[in-house]
Amino acid sequence: MHGFPLCKHIRTIDSGSAGGSAPTESEKDPVESGEPTDWEAKYNEAMKHSRDWEKRAKDNKAAADELEQLKASQMTDAQKAEAHIKELEGKVTAYEAEKRQAQWRAQVAKETNVPADLIRGGSLEEMQDFAKRLDGYLHPKPKGAAVHNQNGTPNHGADPERAEKLNYINQMFGTK
C-alpha cells in the first residue's frame, strides 16, 4: 500500500490493467479478520512502558538531588553565610508584616467594634472596608415600630365611657 495506516480497507489501483489489488493477510485488521485481540499482552506492554518511564523519572530525581548536593558542597563559607542571611531576612520580613497586620487588625477592631479575629484583609484599607461591611451584619440599625394604619383614625371601639374621656381630653388640650 501507500503508507496510509488508517486506510487499510480501501483498495487501490497499483497497476494499470489489473484494476485493483486486494489487501494481503498482513494488511487486514485483526478485528475484521476474526482474530481476537490479546488485551492482556497490550496491558503488559503498557505496564512495561510505564515502569520504564517511572525508572527514568526516579533516576532524574536522584541526579538532580546529587547535583544540588554538589553545588552546596562547593559553596564557600561566605556564600553559605550569605544564603543563610537571605533566609533569615525573609523570615524577619514575614514576622514584621504579620505584626503590622495584627496592629492594623486591633486598630480596626477598636474603631468598628468588630472582633479582631473576624477581620480579614492584607492592607489597612481592606481591613477597614471588610470591618464596615461586617459591622452592618453584626450590629444592625434598630428599626422603628411598625404603624399599620397611618392615615386612618384609631378605632376606640364601642365603649362610650372611653369615647367620652377622649373627647374631654381633646377639648382640654384644644386638639379638636
Residues 23, 8 contacting (CB under 8 angstroms): yes
Tens-place pLDDT, residues 93-132: 999 999 999 999 999 999 998 899 999 998 999 999 999 9
Q: Is 151 part of a structural domain of the chain?
A: no
Q: Is 106 part of a structural domain of the chain?
A: yes
Q: Is 164 part of a structural domain of the chain?
A: no
Which residue is listed with cell 496510509?
Answer: 4
Q: Is 169 part of a structural domain of the chain?
A: no
Do residues 82 and 132 both lie within one domain? yes
Q: Is 160 part of a structural domain of the chain?
A: no
CA distances from 146 to 118, 151, 153, 155, 156 (A): 33, 13, 16, 17, 19
* Cβ neighbours of 23 (radius 10 Å): 15
Structure confidence at residue 23 (pLDDT):
57
For the full predicted model, state whether its pTM sits above 0.95.
no
Do residues 54 and 90 both lie within one domain? no
Do residues 70 and 91 both lie within one domain? no
Structure confidence at residue 17 (pLDDT):
54
Mean pLDDT of 151-170: 76
Range of weakest confidence among 5-19, 55-69, 82-96, 155-169: 5-19
Domain count, the chain: 2
Do residues 67 and 82 both lie within one domain? no
Do residues 87 and 132 both lie within one domain? yes
Structure confidence at residue 19 (pLDDT):
53
Q: Is 17 part of a structural domain of the chain?
A: no
Choose the most confident range, by mean pLDDT, from 5-19, 28-42, 60-74, 84-98: 84-98
Mean pLDDT of 148-155: 66
Domain encompassing residue 49: 42-74
Do residues 96 and 59 both lie within one domain? no
pLDDT > 50? residue 135? yes
Q: Is 65 part of a structural domain of the chain?
A: yes
